[in-house]
Amino acid sequence: NREIHLAARPQGWPTTDNFRLVETPVPTPGPGQLVVRNQYMSVDPYMRGRMNDVKSYTPPFALDAPLDGGALGEVVASEADGFAPGDIVLHALGWREYALLDAKGARKVDPTLAPVTAYLSVLGMTGLTAYAGLLDVAGMKPGETVFVSAAAGAVGSLVGQIAKLKGAAHVVGSAGSAAKVERLTALGFDAAFDYHDGPVRQSLKTAAPDGIDVYFDNVGGDHLEAAISSMRPHGRAAICGMIAQYNDTEPAAAPRNLAMVIGKRLTLRGFLVNDHGGLRQTFVREMAGWLRDGSVSYDETIVDGIENAPEAFLGLLRGENLGKMLVRV
Ligand code: NDP
């Protein structure tokens, strides 16, 4: 069994030296447990925060111990009722080839309903984040103008498509390359820009000349500042993530225009997808329908080999992914 340990806590941008590949014996299940041969694992921006030794909404990763995170694989041994070898399960012990799990930490998925990777992306936590953030947290209504950052990423690309399907009048996305901007147009975004091409504030004004009603924030910093500037009165922002500052060693300077929140009566609302599990069934039903009739497309960037999982994680922070970044274990 090969697994990836946290060898040292990164200061600023992580490097491959922060990780170590370790060989351990393949585990055997005790009563109530199962062993899963992982097939795919997720790398996610929030994992960067867990590499710091600070208390947050999830505990920090321990040094010299395997990392963890969303994963999917096949049960190879089971001492738990309701699970048998061959079952495909979703669980939270990625970053290793073989996971030893208590049965309550595993959820069976149906591999005949969708490609299995979809359970880690469009039909999983990623999709629910987009759906709950846009509809529940920001309360998007038909006819509104929506702006989403990191729009070619896993969450962002779904936010834009869901907004269109729910009747948004104008959907704008920002992303980090010309190829990503082109992809956003193909996905049905009304306007898109590369945030390297000029000040975000200016690019957003050009893309949404009449202002925006809803901002889905994945980036923070100058993107959030630009959104506050472009918000119409009573605009709402769902604050999902601030990836632009996850590797900062000093607090970010922007947004400098927070006082506008008062005059425009804006709502900036942070959220965690874990609090929105109540929407899961509605979300899965609706998203499965959109996938079936082709109204939602999703991208995945798949890196091969557990030994390359750290590189996949670093690539995610650098923006090398289109859609969901996954590792084929
Ligand atoms: P993505 O697939 O969007 O990947 C991250 C993307 O962020 C990269 O592809 C890159 O794209 C972009 N990025 C990186 N650095 C910067 C920067 N400095 N400025 C602008 N863009 C940058 O990841 P996810 O879809 O998994 O996550 C998106 C966001 O949602 C993250 O902030 C994450 O933390 C958050 N999140 C929050 C959840 C919650 O419960 N609140 C749950 C899940 C995710 P590009 O090439 O465009 O720069």
What secondary structure, in 3-state letters, does 174-203 show? EECCHHHHHHHHHCCCCEEEEHHHCCHHHH
**Where does ligand 1 bind, in terms of residues with CB under 6 Å?**
44-46, 126, 129, 150, 152-156, 175-177, 180, 195, 218-219, 240-241, 243-244, 271-273, 316-317, 319, 321, 325
Q: 2-120+299-328 belongs to which homologous superfamily?
A: Medium-chain alcohol dehydrogenases, catalytic domain (3.90.180.10)
245-263 residue pLDDT tens:
999 999 888 899 999 999 9
The reported pLDDT for the residue numbered 55 is 86
The reported pLDDT for the residue numbered 127 is 98
Q: Calculate how far, in angstroms, residue 168's C-alpha sits from the geometric centre of ligand 1.
A: 22
Mutate to test the pocket of ligand 1, among 155, 161, 275, 302 (most ligand atoms within 8 A of CB): 155
**56 pLDDT tier (thresholds 50, 70, 90):** confident
- The crossing angle, in degrees rounded to 10, of helices 221-230 and 200-207 is 40
Average pLDDT score, the chain:
97
Residue 5 has pLDDT above 90, yes or no: yes
Parts of the chain belonging to CATH 3.40.50.720: 125-274
Is the ipTM, as predicted for this complex, more than 0.85? yes
Cβ–Cβ < 8 Å for 100, 78: no
Domain 125-274 grouped into CATH 3.40.50.720: yes
Parts of the chain belonging to CATH 3.90.180.10: 2-120+299-328
**DSSP per-residue codes, 1-41:** -EEEEE-S--SSS--GGGEEEEE-PPP---TTEEEEEEEEE
CA distance 263 to 223: 20
The reported pLDDT for the residue numbered 308 is 98
CA distance 134 to 75: 35
The reported pLDDT for the residue numbered 23 is 98
The reported pLDDT for the residue numbered 13 is 98
The reported pLDDT for the residue numbered 57 is 85
C-alpha dihedral (6, 12, 17, 19), degrees to nearest 10:
20
Query: What percent of the chain stands above pLDDT 90?
Result: 96
Query: What percent of the chain stands above pLDDT 70?
Result: 100
Alpha helices in 187-279 (DSSP H): 200-207, 221-230, 260-263
The reported pLDDT for the residue numbered 6 is 98
Residue 96 has pLDDT above 90, yes or no: yes
Tell the residue nearest (CA) to atom 32 of ligand 1: 241
The reported pLDDT for the residue numbered 209 is 98
**278 pLDDT tier (thresholds 50, 70, 90):** very high
State which amino acid sits at residue 135.
L
134-183 residue pLDDT tens:
999 999 999 999 999 999 999 999 999 999 999 999 999 999 999 999 99
